[in-house]
Structure formats: structure tokens, C-alpha cells
Amino acid sequence: MPVIEVNGLCKKFMLRADRADSFSKMFNTLFRRANHGEDREFWALKDVSFSVPEGKSVGVIGVNGSGKSTLLKLLTGTLRPTKGHITVRGKRSSLIELGAGFHPDFSGRDNVYLNGMILGMSRARVKEKFEEIVAFAELEQFIDVPVKYYSSGMQARLGFAAATAVEPDILIVDEVLAVGDSSFQLKCLSRIREMQGRGVSIVLVSHGMGDIEAVCDEVLWLHKGEAVMFGNTGDVVREYRVNQGLPLPGHAGA
Ligand SMILES: Nc1ncnc2c1ncn2[C@@H]1O[C@H](COP(=O)(O)OP(=O)(O)OP(=O)(O)O)[C@@H](O)[C@H]1O
């Protein structure tokens, strides 16, 4: 039975025109231009359906603005669908927005405890896991510093270490991995493989086709909010590469 089932998913945003933007207000005032801006509907996802089988990994690809992050926010419950249904079976853990789960004024230590407890771990369980989380993030020297002083890479390290330590059934990860340096990216990939070995299902958004091919069994390709293709990683990535004019593996420059 799939751990995630998505049927006919649609997400509408309202795009607000000419509001609270000091530059356009100034422009309108200077040139006595009336504010003709009207709120506009924008469909970020249109009738998207796919599923994540138990223990499988699904990648989500597509150009900027195609709806990938919106889809992940719907899968984690941060956003609600406008239409359609999402069924999730199992405990989710996610790392979708850098620093999203962290309180900037609290130390790394306090945030690890807070985050773990929000994700359903007991204080004692977080305590048991604490050393491992900090060691994985390689932040021993900075663990008592407020998170607002962390670099984006440091936040990604702590976020990934914390999100993967809670022993989820489903791990949902956005492009944030790209923020880490190459040695940390390798460490993340090997932890993802370890989790796959334990039967954890993964949903991964990435612009890096190498990461997608290394991690995912199946891929969903989004474009302007629509599912262009969903299927076997090799097939979808090949089509995407051709569509984007990217070199195919085995060809010069790939
Ligand atoms: N809260 C919001 N209000 C209005 N529009 C939004 C909102 N969130 C996202 N959008 C719009 O939805 C579209 C999809 O955005 P999304 O962030 O999901 O794209 P993406 O595929 O993750 O892009 P990227 O590769 O650049 O991260 C974009 O056009 C974006 O402007």
C-alpha cells in the first residue's frame, strides 16, 4: 500500500497586486497613476496525481516556479489543498525550508530539543540522540550559539541531522541539501541510503539530476503546476534532460 497517495491535487494562491510595495506606491504617487491592480488567482498546482509506494523513493523535478516546493508544503501539511486529496500513512519528517523549524533566538541545543519534541520524540529520547545529531551536523563548537548566527550551510546541517534522527517512516527533503558543502552532501546521501535500507520512503526535490538518479526509484516532473510525466527515474530524467537541452550521460560534457 502506498505511504503517500495524491489524487487530483490543486493549489490556488491569490496574487495580490500593487499592495504594500513602497516602490509601486511611490511610482503611482509620482505619476498620479491610479492603482488598477487587482487580486489575481494563480494555480500553482493543477490536478496532480501520483503515489509513493512503501519503502520507495520519489524525486520531484522541474524548472523554477513549477510547483515543487508547493507540493512538498502540501505533503507536510504546511499548506492545505484547494482541491484534491492527499493520504499519508506513517510518520513524516521533513526538511523543506531552511531554518523553518528553528527558533532563531534559541541555541542549536534548545532547537534540537524543541524540534524533536514537536516531531513526537520524548525529551529522554532526544537526549539519547543528542550527541549523534550534533556530531552528524559537526556543530559541537556552535551548539550553544543562537541559530540566527548560523550560516545557511550550518542551518542545513542541523536541520538535516535533526529531521533524520527522529526515525520517520517518510522523509521529505527539499533543495536545502544543496546548501551544504560537498562533503556534507555526501554524508547526507549516505544517510539517505541508510534510511532507504531500513525501508524509509523518501520524497526528494532537487535540481541536481545526479542526486535524483542516485536516490530515486521514480520521478514526478512538474511544469507550470502540471505533472508532465511520472514514472521510472531513468525514463523521466532522460526526457527532462532532452527537454531542457542538458547533456545526456555518456555524451561529451555530461
Ligand atoms: N504563498 C504564495 N503566494 C502566491 N504565489 C505563490 C506562493 N507560493 C508559491 N507561489 C507561486 O507558485 C509557483 C510555484 O512556486 P514553488 O515555490 O512551488 O516553485 P518551485 O518549483 O519550488 O521553484 P524553485 O525551483 O524556484 O524552488 C510560483 O510561481 C510561485 O510564485
Please report the pLDDT score of residue 66 as a whole number.
98
Domain ranges of the chain: 1-30+37-87+170-181+199-254, 91-168
Protein residue whose Cα sits closest to atom 9 of ligand 1: 70
The angle at the Cα of 213, spanning 151 to 184, to the nearest 5 degrees, equals 25
CB contact at 8 A, 138 and 69: no
Q: DSSP string spanning 15-34? A: EPPS-S-HHHHHHHHHTT--
Give the atom of ligand 1 at the shortest distance from the alpha carbon of 207: 25
CB contact at 8 A, 86 and 5: yes
What the block records as the C-alpha cell of 129 is 540522540
Burial class of residue 94, CB neighbours in 10 A (0-12, 13-18, 19+): buried
d(CA 20, CA 190) in angstroms, rounded, equals 45
**Residue 208, SS3 per DSSP:** coil
When mean pLDDT is compared across 7-11, 13-17, 85-89, the lowest value belongs to: 13-17
Q: Which of 35-49, 185-199, 213-227 has the highest mean pLDDT?
A: 213-227
The angle at the Cα of 252, spanning 247 to 254, to the nearest 5 degrees, equals 40
> Which CATH code fits 91-168?
1.10.8
What the block records as the C-alpha cell of 133 is 545529531
d(CA 53, CA 186) in angstroms, rounded, equals 25
Mean pLDDT of 152-174: 91
How far does the centroid of ligand 1 lie from the alpha carbon of residue 65, in Å?
5
CB contact at 8 A, 201 and 3: yes
Ligand 1 close to Cβ of residue 69 (< 6 A): yes
d(CA 173, CA 200) in angstroms, rounded, equals 13
| Residue 37's pLDDT band (cuts 50, 70, 90) | low
Please report the pLDDT score of residue 254 as a whole number.
47
Closest CA to 196 of 177, 213, 215: 215
pLDDT(129) > 60: yes
Question: 138-154: per-residue pLDDT in tens?
Answer: 999 999 999 999 998 89
What the block records as the C-alpha cell of 110 is 534548545
Ligand 1 close to Cβ of residue 186 (< 6 A): no
d(CA 32, CA 81) in angstroms, rounded, equals 40
Question: 85-97: per-residue pLDDT in tens?
Answer: 999 999 998 888 7
Ligand 1 close to Cβ of residue 64 (< 6 A): yes
Question: 41-89: per-residue pLDDT in tens?
Answer: 999 999 999 999 999 999 999 999 999 999 999 999 989 999 999 999 9
Question: Which residue did the predictor score with more confidence, 80 or 100?
Answer: 80
pLDDT(19) > 60: no
Equal CATH topology for 1-30+37-87+170-181+199-254 and 91-168: no
How far does the centroid of ligand 1 lie from the alpha carbon of residue 51, in Å?
22
> Which CATH code fits 1-30+37-87+170-181+199-254?
3.40.50.300
0.90 surpassed by pTM:
no
d(CA 125, CA 180) in angstroms, rounded, equals 27
Please report the pLDDT score of residue 65 as a whole number.
96
CB contact at 8 A, 174 and 208: no
What the block records as the C-alpha cell of 232 is 521510472
Please count the residues of the chain.
Answer: 254
Please report the pLDDT score of residue 243 as a whole number.
96
Q: Return the best residue to mutate from 10, 40, 68 for the ligand 1 pocket (most ligand atoms within 8 A of CB).
A: 68
Mean pLDDT of 130-145: 96
Please report the pLDDT score of residue 221 as a whole number.
98
Strands 170-173 and 201-205: parallel
Ligand 1 close to Cβ of residue 67 (< 6 A): yes
- Tell me the average pLDDT of the chain: 89
How far does the centroid of ligand 1 lie from the alpha carbon of residue 43, in Å?
10
Q: Residues of the chain with pLDDT > 70: what percent? A: 90
